[in-house]
Structure 1
Amino acid sequence: MHDPVAPPLQEERARFTGEDAEFRRLVTKGALLELATAGFYRFWLATRIRQHLWGATILGGDPLEYLGTGRELLYGFLFALAILAPIYIAYLLLGLAAESYKAFASLPLVLFFIAFGQFALYRARRYRLHRTAWRGLRFGMGGSGWAYSWRAMLWGAAVIATLGLALPWAAAALERYKMRNTLYGDLQGSFVGRGWDFFKRGSWIWLVGVVGVVLWIVLLGGVANSGEGHGAKPHAGAAALGGLSMLVLGLVAVFFYGAYKAIQWRWWVEGVRIGNVGATSDLRTWALIGNYWKFIGWAVLTLLLGVALLAGVSFALAHFGVVNFDALGSKSGPHPAFIATIIGWYLLLLLAMGVLWRIYFVQRVWKLVILSLTLHGLDAAREVKARETTADAIGEGLMDSFDIAGF
């Protein structure tokens, strides 16, 4: 008598229904409101961005829901600020006093703040999961932020000591801790991805990167020593070659970064499990690289337009006699109108770059990843029981205080 054959796992392609134009309007309007409210609208903007992305993500025919509020993020930020402000002041005073006696005496305080940042990252993830629902049930997350923090610190030291070779194993270990503390209803999360698999996929990036950096350092060393005689300056051609090499290195880095992120996303997606539910990804490397190049192109164009705008406004101020640029170096100092122009130009440029960042590093990457997903075993998520859990927004506030919140 033959054993019954297990039915194949249900497979379904993920969908993303958000419109690029709608998201672009959302973040552009949000940036202007951030400017008008001295930055306080950022909490409501982050909430609206998540509502847009979550609501447009369709898994198994049903969208995700984001249930957090801007008020929660604001309260979390203020509470975190009340904790961090005294620590910042104490750090400043103790750091100044310690450095007057011994160099690097404040290093333990720096390490503490790095550890605190890892704690904030974990708590922020916990908050977002507790505010995410699918088919009427919320996700959840337990575990300790400090337990994650010391793990991240130790693995970070190993990554530095091995010049990045330990990164795949560090990523796998940290993801295992996060996922085994992740829940959907009563389904337990897990991470089955292995560091060795990540290493095999991305080792060529590490090898080419190390060789490239070494060759670049040798080239710069040759440029620095290209002068005739001791203490002579390098030839103009050699200096130009050094500058060109830096530009080329930066442009090539875009390709390697896109390749690395594509490998990382595919490896991560294939390792995540919620109960028996898993996924695979066919994320295309060139799609990510192209997305990053679009960001660079628009950023360069925005910068050029910004410089042209500043030049035009400055010319107009000089033409109408508002600012005398010949007297800017005098003891009277720059004219208030010119100072206001510079500040306004800087803020507008900063907001424009923020809009581009949210479009190409948040929404477009999210869209590419979601559209690459094939979900497996969704039938295992039908009989899930709800859990009554919640989480505060302090972690998000800590992230905001460290300026490491993604969106």
Structure 2
Amino acid sequence: MSYVPQQPPPLPPLAAVFSGARGEFFRLVSRGAAIELITLGFYRFWLATDIRRHLWVNTSVDGDAAEYTGRGKELLIGFLFAMAILVPIYLAYFLVTVEAERYQGFASVPLVIAFYAFGQFAIYRARRYRLTRTVWRGIRFWMDGSGWAYSGRAMLWTLLAVLTLGLAWPWRAAALERYKMRHSHYGDLSGDFEGRGWEFFKRAWYLWVITPFAMLLFPLLPFVYAQFKAVEWRWWLSGIRFGGVRLESTLPGNAFYGLYWKVIGWWFLLSIASGAYFGAVAFLMHSLLGLGSDDLPQAQALSNNIPMLVLLGLGYIAWILALNVVMRLYLVRDMWATVLASLQVHGVEAMANVAARGDLASALGEGFADGLDVAGF
């Protein structure tokens, strides 16, 4: 009788653990915002790298933490290359509108289409860059496929979503994620996506009904958007596969209510503070120049006062950077921690004997994403 080796039983699902200290992240983004102010925003490439490294290294499964190997210099170079492509497009559009105003409306149509195509290309290539800079247990994730093929699919699906008043959006999300995941790999382990558009629609159909009313009633809108993002995250994570490895999320629909309302609350407080600052600067300059309230020429001179414009500009930049700190704290760090707290990994033993494969991708996609202000999973 031949001996048949017994397969070991599958391991129980493992929880994803996030151990990053909130205070440490707050100091990281606060210091980064201050350096951004000094460097006129160029430090954002290194800040983005530091944020990812903090999130990755404090995220672990089965006791092993992830690594992020990206560099701020790579993001800067990718941004400069992207600008070398985008700036001539901006310039060509400007020249067309100057040459013939009657063509301005016509020219804006291909411009919008071109930028949308570039944006979708950027989303794909940016994810490819981030994936190739992610390492777990010494094995790199990587991605192949075509960013332009993805962009073409995204444009067609977006057109269908517009024609159906948004009802086709869940199927769009499923189709595009399936393309991305089927070109994603962990070493020699191939990815897949099993989420279906119908599943997404069943979980969120009522949000399409509520949204028109929410747009008229502001207090309702943050709840609707937060609910949609929670449903989307849970659906997306639960559909991810890498060979025999699958993810499962139990994220509740109300998981993000508090996060979005805290951001809104801070936005109001920061706006009040900046308004008080702008008023104080204007009053100070008005007092120093001794202008009368009905003296229009002198009032115009006040608006052209260089020190006043500098102080107002610094106040505006400080308001933007402070708001960025709030958004990074609540909508990046806290949302990351909330999502991971709901996540379990099944079949992690399938990653035990994975062979390393894949090459590093360039940061061009990240540069396009930064230049066009687009983002995606």
When normalised by structure 2's length, the TM-score is 0.92
Which of 325, 329, 332 matches 1:362?
332
Deviations 1:163-211 (A, max 9, x none): 110011000000000000000000000000010011111001112224x
Distance 2:134 2:254 in 1: 30
Flag the 1:325–1:74 CA change in 2: closer, same or farther, 3 A. farther
Q: CA deviation at 1:90?
A: 1.5
Judge which range, 57-66 or 123-132, deviates more: 57-66
Q: CA deviation at 1:389?
A: 1.0
Q: Aligned runs of 1:325-364 on 2, under 5 Å?
A: 326=293, 327=295, 330=298, 331-334=300-303, 335-364=305-334
Q: CA deviation at 1:136?
A: 0.7
Distance 2:184 2:207 in 1: 31
Which of 278, 295, 308 matches 1:310?
278
Flag the 1:342–1:15 CA change in 2: closer, same or farther, 3 A. same
Following TM superposition, the consecutive aligned residue runs of length 4 or more in structure 1 with deviations greater than 4 angstroms are 95-99
Q: CA deviation at 1:354?
A: 1.1
Distance 1:42 1:375 in 2: 33
Q: CA deviation at 1:27?
A: 0.6
1:253 aligns with 2:221: yes
The alignment covers a number of residue pairs equal to 369
Q: Aligned runs of 1:317-328 on 2, under 5 Å?
A: 317-319=285-287, 321-322=288-289, 324=291, 326=293, 327=295
Flag the 1:6–1:173 CA change in 2: closer, same or farther, 3 A. farther
Distance 2:165 2:31 in 1: 43
Distance 2:146 2:170 in 1: 23
When normalised by structure 1's length, the TM-score is 0.86
Q: CA contact under 8 A between 1:187 and 1:274: conserved in structure 2?
A: yes
Q: CA contact under 8 A between 2:56 and 2:66: conserved in structure 1?
A: yes
SS in 1 for 2:141: strand
The residue that corresponds to 2:263 in the other structure is: 295
Which of 264, 274, 279 matches 2:232?
264
Supply the AA of the counterpart residue of 1:394. Answer: L
Distance 2:7 2:135 in 1: 34
The residue that corresponds to 1:192 in the other structure is: 194
Distance 2:372 2:290 in 1: 39
Structure 1: runs of 5 or more not aligned: 217-245
Aligned Cα root-mean-square deviation (Å): 2.1
Flag the 1:96–1:318 CA change in 2: closer, same or farther, 3 A. closer
Supply the AA of the counterpart residue of 1:196. Answer: W
Flag the 1:173–1:97 CA change in 2: closer, same or farther, 3 A. farther
Distance 2:12 2:371 in 1: 43
Flag the 1:27–1:405 CA change in 2: closer, same or farther, 3 A. farther
Q: CA deviation at 1:303?
A: 1.3
Supply the AA of the counterpart residue of 2:344. Answer: T
Supply the AA of the counterpart residue of 1:90. Answer: A
